[in-house]
């Protein structure tokens, strides 16, 4: 074993989209032995400029849109058996991003429409923003940054008031403003999690209630002297070394 060094005797070829990970038994030394839990470790290889990547500046895939961002209050059109398309009596109730499940239809004037939120509903292409599967920012993905003292955001003991709380606040906001009836129940669940984080009386919490994908400095790249890893190793060394 060579510490602070990446050792790869046999190169492992991968290409974009390949899943590369490890499912195993995570163990951390403690005074009484070690703490343990199952954990999956997945390495996501991507560009350093993640916000730019999410915005899809090259416009990849936009010639074959897969999603549409629909504003609140745009009209829903109806297509009749004769092929005629007319504006209906209802409008969209909230801003949403919908997956395009069918092909666009064109009226006599050449205006294009896409299947909308109901079985017969159509949305005018001029009213929505068409997105490719790679337009991640347009679909609602965003990068949230934090500089925590430790890479272990969820230890079951210290309430996750930093990055984890920020992310769940975003989830709550999206669900609370979604406008769909079932989303209010989702928002209620996120509100409960946030209340537990803010509750000073709750010393411990269940890790099963919080599931996140978090980027952190990898031990394969950063040295053991990096602040985030030093904060992890220093307590371990104190346990192993006699105080005298």
Chain segment 193-204, per-residue pLDDT in tens:
888 888 767 666
Same domain, 172 and 212: yes
Same domain, 105 and 145: no
Residue at which a domain ends, from 84, 111, 131? 131
**Higher local confidence (pLDDT), 211 or 37:** 37
Mean pLDDT, to the nearest integer, of 144-156? 71
Distance between CA atoms of residues 55 and 220, nearest Å: 28
Q: Band of the pLDDT at 151, cuts 50, 70, 90?
A: low
Give residue-wise pLDDT tens across range 11-44: 778 777 776 666 677 777 777 787 777 777 666 6
Distance between CA atoms of residues 173 and 198, nearest Å: 17
- Examine residue 187 and state whether it is found in any structural domain, yes or no: yes
Q: Does pLDDT of 135 surpass 90? A: yes
Given this model, what pLDDT does residue 150 score? Answer: 67
Give residue-wise pLDDT tens across range 62-118: 998 999 999 989 999 998 888 889 998 888 888 888 888 778 889 988 999 998 655
Give how many domains the chain has, as a whole number: 2
Q: Percentage of the chain with pLDDT > 70?
A: 76
Phi, psi of 19 (to 5 degrees): -80, 125
Given this model, what pLDDT does residue 126 score? Answer: 94
Mean pLDDT, to the nearest integer, of 56-62? 92
Same domain, 75 and 101: yes
Given this model, what pLDDT does residue 44 score? Answer: 64
Distance between CA atoms of residues 77 and 135, nearest Å: 26
Same domain, 150 and 181: yes
Same domain, 118 and 195: no
Residue at which a domain ends, from 114, 131, 148? 131
The pair of structure tokens assigned to 184 is 């209010």
Model confidence, pTM = 0.58
- Examine residue 56 and state whether it is found in any structural domain, yes or no: no
Same domain, 89 and 182: no
Mean pLDDT, to the nearest integer, of 144-171? 77
Distance between CA atoms of residues 121 and 237, nearest Å: 64
Mean confidence (pLDDT) of the chain: 79
Full domain range(s) for residue 231: 138-240
Mean pLDDT, to the nearest integer, of 115-127? 79
Residue at which a domain ends, from 131, 151, 177? 131
- Examine residue 66 and state whether it is found in any structural domain, yes or no: yes
């Amino acid at each position: 074993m060579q510490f602070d060094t990446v050792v790869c005797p046999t190169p492992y070829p991968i290409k974009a989209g390949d899943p590369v990970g490890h499912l195993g038994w995570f163990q951390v030394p403690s005074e009484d032995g070690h703490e343990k839990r199952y954990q999956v470790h997945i390495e996501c290889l991507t560009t350093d400029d993640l916000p730019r990547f999410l915005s899809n500046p090259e416009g990849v895939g936009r010639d074959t849109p897969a999603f549409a961002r629909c504003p609140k209050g745009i009209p829903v059109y109806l297509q009749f058996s004769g092929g005629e398309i007319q504006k209906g009596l209802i409008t969209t109730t909230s801003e949403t991003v919908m997956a395009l499940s069918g092909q666009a239809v064109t009226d006599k004037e050449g205006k294009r429409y896409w299947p909308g939120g109901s079985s017969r509903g159509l949305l005018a292409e001029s009213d929505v923003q068409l997105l490719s599967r790679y337009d991640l920012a347009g679909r609602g993905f965003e990068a949230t940054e934090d500089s925590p003292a430790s890479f272990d955001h969820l230890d079951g003991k210290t309430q996750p008031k930093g990055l984890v709380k920020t992310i769940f606040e975003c989830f709550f906001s999206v669900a609370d403003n979604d406008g769909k009836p079932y989303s209010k129940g989702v928002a209620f669940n996120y509100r409960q999690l946030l209340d537990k984080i803010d509750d000073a009386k709750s010393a411990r919490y269940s890790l099963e209630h919080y599931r996140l994908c978090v980027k952190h400095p990898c031990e394969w790249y950063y040295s053991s002297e990096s602040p985030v890893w030093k904060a992890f190793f220093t307590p371990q060394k104190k346990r192993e070394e006699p105080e005298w």
